[in-house]
Structure 1
Amino acid sequence: MTILDRYILKRYLATFGMMLLLFIPIGIMLNLAEQIGKMIDNEAPLNEILIYYLNFTIYIGHLLFPIFLFLSIIFFTSKLASNTEIVAILSSGVSYGRFLRPYWIGATIIAIIMFFMGMFIVPNASKGFNEFKFKYLKKGKQDRVTSNIFNQLNENDFIYVSSFDPARKIGYNFTFERFNEDQELDYKISAANIRWVDKDSVYRLTNYNKRDLRGENEVLETKRRLDTLFTFKIEDLTPVSYIAETKNLFELNTFIAAQRRKGASNINSYIMVKYKRWALPVAAFILTIIGVAVSSVKRRGGMGVNLAFGIGVAFIYIFFDKVFGTLAEQSGFSPLLAIIIPNLAFGVLGIYLLQNAKR
């Protein structure tokens, strides 16, 4: 690594770190000012608040990594341009492609950090962040669907409850149906409610009825109460809305496969979480290209013009990402295309701007 590489890479990483240290505390203070009343009203313990803001820092920081990176590149590259350092570097015989090498190294370092954080660290922080939010900041609001819940456990087993109380771990108007290989009903269990009993690690059915179809005969079994076992977990009746965010790389793949077997209606939202984790490191390279192309040319108006243009591009990028993400989650639009289209469009834009910057 040459002196030039070390010089630019040092500025790249130092400015990025400065952006994190500058904006994340501001975000924490703004969030605290907004939520402190709810925390006091709901008697949130101090240790849980401190853990919440640790998770908040990891969760929000990782989410905004690409934007911080983008602004960092524009900031320090504009300073290089305004000080005529870039002109001096290129005039010494260094090609524009060679000038970009430390930027690629920096983008690779940030992308690797983003990848491992997104796959293994952020999921745990997301769990703590969301649990605190619904426990103290959105107290009384449900973090999941709690009515008319239908689940396909596998190819043969189906369950249904009309409503579910996650705090008490109880479902009402429970139905369990098993079909044979010919897709004919084998037996059906119904109960007024189903409750998970932690002490005994069993399910307790109240007003239990079972219709067992044996050929042309039907056997009816009824009991006032029955303790039994099922292959599903009570929480699987209706997972929390943010469940995919709380799973690491391997857990998420297993979870999506299980939800696909069940025929989950919101499977696209889980797939979007997976693809976004892979796309975020790619965004580091795309925004690096755009950032350098925008700010490496000395302009009338200086850094302010570059920052204004860069912020505008960043907001357009976020807008397209949100629009296509919403399309994938709420319609039949492909989640893969929803991730590829914005990144491909801005990748092409970055290459176009880079070619102009070279000239």
Structure 2
Amino acid sequence: MSILDRYILGKYLGTFILLLLLFIPIGITVNLAEKIDKILANEVPFIEVAKYYWDFTIYFANLLFPLFLFLSVIWFTSKMANNTEVIAILSSGVSYYRYLRPYMIGATIVCGGALIMGMYLAPVASKGFNEFSYQYLKKGKKDRISSHVYRQINDNDYIYVSYFNVGQKSGNNFTLEHFEGNELTYKIAARSIRFNEADSTYSLYGYQKRLIGEDSDIIQKSPKIDTTFAFELEDLTPVEYIAETLNYTELNSFIEREKAKGSSYINRYQVVQYKRWSLPVSAYILTIIAVAVSSVKRRGGMGVNLAIGIAIGMIFIFFDKIFGTMAEQSDFSPFVATWFPNFIFAILAVYLLNNAKR
């Protein structure tokens, strides 16, 4: 590795880490100022608050690292351009691609770190962050999907509940359909269902069971019946943020099980799955854009480059959020939603890079 590589790589990683160290305490301070009333009102132990802000740090560092990286590259490259270091490097016979090499080495290091964090560290932090939020900061708010839950629980049984109250462990309009092959053999329906935690049974109110016969059906009715089922309470009320709390291996297995169960939330889980790859890869794209924008010495100085960088970074985050939401709330492809911002900005990166070379 040459002196040029070490010099630029040191600035690349050093500025990125410095920016993280500067912004994370600011984020913690702002969040604490907003949440301090609820923390004190709920008498949250100090150790729990400390764990929460450790998880908060990892969670948001993983979420916002592309923006921090983008701004850090613009910052130190603009400073080099203002000091005419970039002109000196390129005038010495170094090609633009050779000049870009240490940036790509730095992007590879950051991408590798982001992959490890996103695949294994961030899921643990996400679990702690969300559980603390719903236990202490969002009391009374739902952390589970509880409306219009339709799921396949095994090869033969399908369940549906129109609404399930997590706190009371009861729901409305419950049905269970049992198939043998492609034939419906019986269907259980109930006006309401309640989970009995003491013995893990279910109480069905307004119970009706229809046995499907070749010539006629047999209907069994009862005001109330206690029974057991081959599904857990979590099948009726899946946690909204469950995908965020699983490492990559667990997430892949979870999605396969959810597909087998006929879950209607597959898109939401797949958005999380694909983002584990798309966000780290964005390090390369944003680095190229940042170098192309900030390597030119401008009359307005670093301020102009930073303004351009912040605008591009905000647009990237906007695209990422809007397409992710589209995939979660519709039939829009999760793969396209998560990779489309990278694709668009990769085209922008090529365009800006060609202009910068000239």
Name the structure 1 match of 2:103.
Answer: 103
Distance 2:219 2:11 in 1: 77
8 A Cα contact 1:174 1:194, kept in partner: no
Compared CA separation, residues 206 and 154, structure 1 to 2 (3 A): closer
Distance 1:192 1:335 in 2: 35
Distance 1:120 1:170 in 2: 35
8 A Cα contact 1:82 1:302, kept in partner: yes
Compared CA separation, residues 85 and 94, structure 1 to 2 (3 A): same
Secondary structure of the equivalent of 1:184?
A: strand
Deviation at 1:144, TM superposition (A): 2.4
Name the structure 1 match of 2:321.
Answer: 322
Name the structure 2 match of 1:39.
Answer: 39
TM-score of the two chains, using structure 1 as the length reference: 0.92
Q: Give the partner amino acid of 2:327.
A: A
Moved more, 54-63 or 233-242: 233-242
Moved more, 172-181 or 232-241: 172-181
Name the structure 1 match of 2:178.
Answer: 178
1:205 and 2:203 are equivalent in the alignment: yes
Name the structure 1 match of 2:124.
Answer: 124
Within 5 A, what are the aligned runs for 1:272-351?
272-351=271-350
1:138 and 2:138 are equivalent in the alignment: yes
8 A Cα contact 1:210 1:222, kept in partner: no
Secondary structure of the equivalent of 2:298?
A: coil
Deviation at 1:161, TM superposition (A): 2.9
| Percent of residue pairs bearing the same amino acid type | 56
Q: Give the partner amino acid of 2:237.
A: T
8 A Cα contact 1:162 1:171, kept in partner: yes
Q: CA RMSD in A?
A: 2.2
Compared CA separation, residues 276 and 110, structure 1 to 2 (3 A): same
TM-score of the two chains, using structure 2 as the length reference: 0.92
8 A Cα contact 1:165 1:171, kept in partner: yes
Name the structure 2 match of 1:6.
Answer: 6
Name the structure 1 match of 2:258.
Answer: 259
List gaps (5 residues or longer) in structure 1.
Answer: none
8 A Cα contact 1:179 1:187, kept in partner: no
Secondary structure of the equivalent of 2:183?
A: coil
Distance 1:225 1:299 in 2: 78
Q: Give the partner amino acid of 2:183.
A: Q
Distance 1:270 1:190 in 2: 30
Distance 2:289 2:79 in 1: 16
Name the structure 1 match of 2:270.
Answer: 271
1:339-359 superposed Cα distances (whole Å, 9 cap, x missing partner): 232211111111111111111
Distance 1:219 1:336 in 2: 46
Q: Give the partner amino acid of 2:121.
A: I
Distance 1:140 1:277 in 2: 31
Moved more, 37-46 or 68-77: 37-46
8 A Cα contact 1:294 1:353, kept in partner: yes
8 A Cα contact 2:190 2:208, kept in partner: yes
Name the structure 1 match of 2:59.
Answer: 59
Distance 1:260 1:320 in 2: 27
Within 5 A, what are the aligned runs for 1:164-175?
164-175=164-175
